[in-house]
Amino acid sequence: MTSLTYQGIPVWRHARILGWTAQIVSAIIVIAAVAFFIYNLASAVEERDIPRGWSFLSREYSTPISESLLPYEESDTFAYAFLVAATNTLTLSLVGVAFATVLGIVIGSAQLAGNWILSRAAKVYVEFFRNVPLIVQLFFWYIVLLGLPQVREGYVWFDAIYMNNSGLSLPWLKAQDTVLAWGIYAAVAVAAALAVQQVAIRRELRTGRPSYPLVWASVTAVLIGAVAWVSLGAPLVIDLPRPVGRFGHLQGGIGLSIELAALLVGLIIYTSAFIAEIVRAGLQSVSRGQGEASRSLGLNAMETLRYVTFPQALRVIIPPLISQYLNLTKNSSLAIAIGYADLTSVAKTMTQTAPAISIFLIIMAIYLLFSLGYSLIGNLYNRHIQFRGG
């Protein structure tokens, strides 16, 4: 029997030949499948004359965007509208992440509290909000907020916070002309404080006597700040919202529409329930022995938490926490359900006047960029703890 051989071994039994064959066959299958879809797409676009291309980006969008952080007019281009919508999503997610983290840490710690009522309440919160679809919660908060009284009968606290069925108005900081000069002062203050801190640390190491590096650094920074204040005045002033005109519409401060408020409330509560579970699991993952060892060294409960338990729990907490941040960002696309102009919802509207294929490619790229950003933070953190022998 004649047979094909390689290095004296029949090819169908040669480990390396089999490996190569698997590589080549798998590559052909995968590439063929991708080519098939792309070919279909291309021929469908060709035959049915489906709009395509990227020229629309420089066209005027000519459609209103209900609410945006960046200034926007209907005469702006599609490209700029993308930027406006992406900024909305990013801001929404950053604000949501900040509040959800704080709330999640509080509730997660409360789940482990010694007080039965507190731990039970935290548990109920987590179990309920985690297990109900976000969209149901969003609709719920939306109609609850829509049920608020009208502007003139709305709630007012301290003449500064206004809540009514057209939204929420809060005091906000307004930059003065001197803000640039303040920036220079701030840079100087930070540099000086760091220098003072270093000097103090060196001295402490040299003399062995406590030299309070942090205290001296703070004092330096505050002194420079005081000089700046005297010479420049305040950098920012508080801008209060106030009702104007016959209908009492609110001007000044910062305003959130009902849609945005409902979206934020829903996202924050939903995500905080997940974060609370992560924090609880993280704190519980630190073995009891660590706490006992720390207490037996004479550290008190607070110091044990600060120096022993929490740093160790953080290693367990951070990676899933970052994926929750990413989830929150993606979940903000549910904005479309209650009509806030986030990235997905603006893009959906755009498809009526511009090529859908291009638009979806763009928004998928933007979302991937966000997720890449969060993964990057996660990886940096992982590397950071690995350097310390994590």
Partner 1 sequence: MATEHTAPMQPPRTETGWIGWARFNLFGSVPSTIVTVVSAPLALWACWAGLSWVFTTADWTLVTSRPQQYVIGIYPTEHAWRPLVGWLMVSVLFGLAAGMWKGAALRIAIGYGAIALVVGLLPYGALHEGVNMPLDIRLLVLGNLPVLAVAYWLGTTEAVGRPRWLIVGGLVTYVLFLSLLVGLPGVTAVLPGVTAMEPVSPRVWGGLMLNLILSVSGIVLSFPIGVALALGRRSNLPVVKLMCVVFIEVFRGVPLITLLFVSQVLVPLALPENFPVNSVTRAAIVITLFSAAYMAENIRGGLQGLPPGQAEAARALGLPGWRVTVWILLPQAVRNVIPAIVGQFIGLFKDTSLVYIIGMLDILEIGRAVVQGNVEFADNGRELYLFVAVIFWLITYTMSYASRSLERHLGVGQR
Partner 2 sequence: MENQSSDATATDGGQSNGAEDIIICRDVHKWFGSFHALRGVTTSVARGEVVVVIGPSGSGKSTFIRTINRLEKHQRGDIIVDGFEMTDDIRNIDAIRREVGMVFQQFNLFPHLSVMRNITLAPTKVRRLPMSEAEDIAMELLERVGIPEQANKYPGELSGGQQQRVAIARALAMQPKIMLFDEPTSALDPEMIKEVLEVMQELAASQMTIVAVTHELGFAREVADRIVMFDEGSIVEDQPPHDFFNNPRHERVRRFLSQILRH
Alpha helix segments (H runs only) across 147-178: none
The least distance separating partner 2 from the CB of residue 7, rounded to whole angstroms, comes to: 6
Please check whether residue 347 is in contact with residue 360, taking contact to mean a CB–CB distance below 8 angstroms: yes
Q: Please give the backbone phi and psi of residue 72, each rounded to the nearest 5 degrees, phi first.
A: -140, 140
Indicate whether 75 belongs to the interface with partner 2 (CB under 8 A).
no
Indicate whether 302 belongs to the interface with partner 2 (CB under 8 A).
no
Sign of CA dihedral 334, 335, 338, 339: negative
Stretch that binds partner 1, among 92-100, 168-176, 307-315, 369-377 (CB under 8 A): 369-377
Indicate whether 230 belongs to the interface with partner 2 (CB under 8 A).
no
Q: Using CB distances below 5 to 8 A depending on partner kind, what does residue 170 bind out of partner 1, partner 2, none?
A: none
Burial class (CB in 10 A: 0-12, 13-18, 19+), 278: buried
- Give the C-alpha separation, 336 to 345, whole Å: 5
Interface pick for partner 2 out of 18, 25, 136, 297 (rule CB under 8 A): 18
Nearer to partner 1 by Cβ, of 30 and 226: the residue is 30
Instruction: Using DSSP, state whether 115 is helix, strand or coil.
Output: coil
Indicate whether 245 belongs to the interface with partner 2 (CB under 8 A).
no
Interface pick for partner 1 out of 102, 136, 175, 293 (rule CB under 8 A): 136
Interface pick for partner 2 out of 13, 59, 152, 306 (rule CB under 8 A): 13
Indicate whether 139 belongs to the interface with partner 1 (CB under 8 A).
yes
Question: How many angstroms from the chain centroid is the CA of residue 66?
Answer: 22
DSSP per residue over 49-81, as a string? T---SSGGGGSB--S--S--SS---TTSBHHHH
DSSP strand E in 268-350: where?
none
Interface pick for partner 1 out of 4, 16, 30, 64 (rule CB under 8 A): 30
> CA 250 → CA 66, 168, 170, distances in Å?
17, 10, 10
Binding residues for partner 1, rule: CB under 8 A, are 19, 22-23, 26-27, 30-31, 37-38, 40-41, 44-45, 50, 113-118, 121, 127-128, 131-137, 139-140, 143-144, 326, 330-331, 333-334, 336-337, 344, 347-348, 351, 356-357, 360, 363-364, 367-368, 370-372
The residues of the shown chain that bind partner 2, judged by CB under 8 A, are 7-10, 13-18
